[in-house]
Amino acid sequence: MKKTTLILVTLGLLLISPKGISQVITGENVAVTNTEYGKVRGYIQNGIHTYKGIPYAKAERFVAPEKPDAWEGVRSSTMFGPVAPLLTPTTSVRDEGEFVFDHDWGYPNEDCLRINIWTPSIDDGKKRPVLFWIHGGGFTTGSSQELPSYDGENLSKKGDVVVVSINHRLNILGFLDLSAYGEKYKHSANNSMLDIVAALEWVKANISNFGGDPNSVTVFGQSGGGAKVNTLMAMPAAQGLYHKAVNQSGSFRTAMLDKNDTQQIGEEVVNILGLDQGNIDSIQNIPFTTLSDASAKALKIVGEKRAASGKANIGFGLNWGPSVDGEDLPFQVFSDEAFELSKDIPLLLGTAKNEFAPFANMRFVHSSEEDILAHIKNQYKEKADDYIKAVKKAYPNDTDPKDLIDVDLMFRPGAVVQANAKASVKNGAAVYMYLFTWQSPVFDGKYKALHCMELPFVFDNIEKAKNMTGGGKELQGLADNMSWAWINFAETGNPNHEGLPEWPAYTPANTATMHFDNTSVVKPQLDKELFKIALGE
Q: Which residues are annotated as catalytic?
A: 223, 355, 451
C-alpha angle with apex 261: 256 to 264, nearest 5 degrees? 150
CB 393 within 8 A of CB 406: no
Q: Give the other-Cβ count within 10 Å of 252's Cβ.
A: 22
> What sign results for the dihedral spanned by CA atoms 353, 228, 204, 83?
negative
Which phi and psi (to 5°) does residue 484 adopt?
Answer: -70, -35
- Output the CA–CA distances (angstroms, integers) from residue 195 to 31, 168, 201, 464, 533, in the order listed: 26, 6, 10, 29, 41
Q: Give the ranges where 348-429 is alpha helix by DSSP (H).
A: 357-360, 369-380, 384-394, 412-423
Backbone φ/ψ region at 473: left (φ over 0), alpha (ψ -120 to 50), beta: alpha
DSSP state of 479: H
d(CA 200, CA 245): 13
CB 109 within 8 A of CB 195: no
d(CA 175, CA 19): 50
CB 111 within 8 A of CB 58: yes
DSSP state of 489: H
CB 195 within 8 A of CB 66: no
In DSSP terms, 218 is beta-bridged to 131, 244
Q: Give the other-Cβ count within 10 Å of 187's Cβ.
A: 20
